[in-house]
A and B are shown apart, each in its own frame.
Chain A
């Protein structure tokens, strides 16, 4: 049926927004507002805060790094001085007082003037590099022991019992070859021998 409304338009009843659209708009607005709020919070609150915090930490790091650099420089210098001290210590420990050792050795050879127990003389005395681990060096002697073989053994025994031998760890066992002299001097026979004495490693006294 055709409906004609004779009422002037200003007096007509206004028709409302359809419910579906209204709900859709309201929901849309609500959700949009929520989304905008969330984004605003995330962007302007959380993100900004994190960015501010990062900037502050970067500033703090710059100032701390200057101090850290100084601390590292101090550590480097400390290690350098520590190494120097270690070097000086090792130089001191490696020192062997050869004038003392050879002075003591000469006392053993001289044996207070007693020539009966042993009569030894040398063609050469020399120091050298160590023969094995745990040794600081070697003292080598070449010489003669006048008289019979017992006197050579006596000399070796006296060396090992002497104060001179405290800084040594071993001596070669006494061995040599018998030599007959052609002159009229006494004794007219001697045992020609060579011996090596191994020096203990430096600083052995402190380690005891």
Chain B
């Protein structure tokens, strides 16, 4: 049998052990790889660029997991603060969103448009679409357009009614174009055309949020003093409003103020100036007394003296109502510019301020028969003097006086007579404007055959004298001519011509 030499045996032994050691060395290496592969360290910063998890060792995994755990822990630590923030902002938005209408309130707004038109005394001619589709948004803009006609102040009143709603309605744009003035004197009314573009904002609380986070003990936590303090610190949203004050006899800026110039010789005499000054001073005095009454009322309120308060309040309301009427009647009578300024600064402006703060309904004032008789007597005197223009002027003054008050029933016959006197005077004025001149008359016994030359033209009985067929010659006698003019019989003597 062949035997290995000692040397060979030794070599085989060494080799064998070497193989085993190498094997275990490989295993150790693999284990080390499994532990330390791609570990980020100061010695191996480039390992950060290895992003394939398959190439990571346990240490690298641990590093990555640590980073994620740290991030998640940071997020988790913020839960308490974020819950608090969510509670605070839910309550703040819930509070602030009350200035925005809900869908039902937007629909209700559409119904209010007509009411506002009535309250402002404007004519509503068009309403643009009021679309309540929010489109899934929490706060959706709802625009709508209105077209109205009315005076400048009436248009402002209409717009102001929207601007004083508790829910926000904004005026996006406004156009007012001058329109005609219908009627005359106190009854005159401007009909300007206005287009108002408005927008409101509908709030839907559950829109825009996938699912609100459930916070335990939510109701109890909202009552927490810290949270309540945080809510109060955020200024609440509010609807800024403006209380439109009624203006007495303020000129409409879109109405042409040009007037006929005063006739020659006409002006403000010293007597008239003294009367105007006296009127202004009396009204000023009454306003000062009213201011004092209002101050006294405020004092009673502060001191909680309800008995004297109950006595003084209706007295003040009655004074306000009466003063308003007197100021309205006085306004057209004050023509001197300096007095007008005093009238505005010391009477109208302070009165409007007091009036705006009170809910006073105008008293139903009644003019008595005796007061009507005064007007009637003056008109009768002027008619007797054949001052027909004065008759008409006096009747105009009467109409202004009774424009906002009732006439006593027993004064109705006098009112009728005054209207007849006015018509008569108007007819006489129109007749006089014809300026009839007679240059000859031919009398015939046969009825209808007589002739008269009027303003150069021959006329017979039954002919119309003027171009608009209002004045008809009825009878020709040797002393006079009798006409029929708008239902009135006018006797025009020939001798006077």
Q: Would you call A110 and B253 a contact (CB within 8 A)?
A: yes
Contacts of B79 in A (CB 8 A): 67, 70-71, 74
Chain B: CB-nearest residue to A117: B337
Tell whether, in the assembled complex, residue B24 and residue A107 are in contact, meaning their CB atoms are under 8 Å apart. no
Cα–Cα, bound, A47→B100 (Å): 65
B317 beta carbon closer than 8 Å to chain A? no
Contacts of A92 in B (CB 8 A): 99, 168, 237-240
Given the complex of chains A and B, what is the CA–CA distance between A32 and B28 in angstroms?
13
Asked whether A74 lies within 8 Å of B170 as measured between CB atoms, the reply is no
Closest Cβ–Cβ distance, residue B260 to chain A (whole Å):
6
Q: Is the CB of B156 within 8 A of A102?
A: yes
Return the contact of A74 from the options B13, B58, B86, B96 (Cβ within 8 A): B86
Q: Does any Cβ of B come within 8 Å of A162's Cβ? A: no
**What residues of chain A lie closer than 8 Å to B9, measured between beta carbons?**
21
Which single member of A24, A28, A35, A46 contacts B24 (CB below 8 Å)? A35
Q: Which residue on A lies nearest to B98, using beta carbons?
A: A88
B90 interfacial by beta-carbon distance below 8 Å: yes
**Once the chains bind, are B173 and A29 in contact (CB under 8 Å)?**
no
Chain B residues within 8 Å of A100, by CB: 163, 242, 244
Whether A88 and B100, one on each chain, are in contact in the complex, defined by CB atoms closer than 8 angstroms, is yes
Residues of A contacting B260 with CB < 8 Å?
184-186
Q: Are A88 and B99 in contact (CB under 8 A)?
A: yes
Q: How large is the interface on A (under 10, 10 to 19, 20 to 34, 35 or more residues)?
A: 35 or more
- A169: CB under 8 A from chain B? no
Contact with B along A66-103 (1 / 0, CB 8 A): 01101111110110111011011101101111111011
Q: Which one of B153, B157, B168, B253 contacts A105 once the chains associate, using CB atoms below 8 Å?
A: B253
Number of interface residues of B (CB under 8 A): 98
Q: Say yes or no: is A120 at the interface (Cβ < 8 Å to chain B).
A: yes
For window 96-126 of A, CB contacts with B under 8 Å fall at 96-100, 102-103, 105-107, 109-110, 112-116, 119-126
Contact present for B62 and A57 (CB under 8 Å): yes
Bound-state Cα–Cα, A122 to B253, Å: 6
Residue-wise interface mask of A (1-43) relative to B, using a CB-CB cutoff of 8 A (1 in contact, 0 not):
0000000000000000010110011011101100110110011
Q: Is B17's CB within 8 Å of the partner chain A?
A: yes
Which residue among B7, B9, B251 has the maximum number of chain A CB atoms within 10 Å of its CB? B251
Binary CB contact string for chain B from 6 to 21 against chain A (1 if under 8 A, 0 otherwise): 1101100110111011
Q: Is B418 an interface residue (CB 8 A)?
A: no
State whether the Cβ of A128 lies closer than 8 Å to any Cβ in chain B: yes
Q: Supply 21 A–B pairs (Cβ within 8 Å), ascending by A.
A: A20-B6, A25-B13, A28-B18, A35-B21, A39-B31, A43-B31, A54-B61, A64-B69, A68-B76, A74-B79, A78-B82, A84-B208, A87-B139, A91-B170, A97-B163, A102-B156, A113-B340, A126-B174, A127-B175, A128-B173, A181-B258
Q: Write the residues of chain B forming the contact surface with A, with a CB cutoff of 8 angstroms.
A: 6-7, 9-10, 13-14, 16-18, 20-21, 24-25, 27-28, 31-32, 34-35, 58-59, 61-62, 65-66, 68-69, 71-73, 75-76, 78-79, 82-83, 85-86, 89-90, 92-93, 96-97, 99-100, 138-139, 152-153, 156-157, 159-160, 163, 168, 170-171, 173-178, 201, 208-209, 212-213, 234, 237-242, 244-245, 247, 249-251, 253-261, 334, 337, 340-341, 343-345
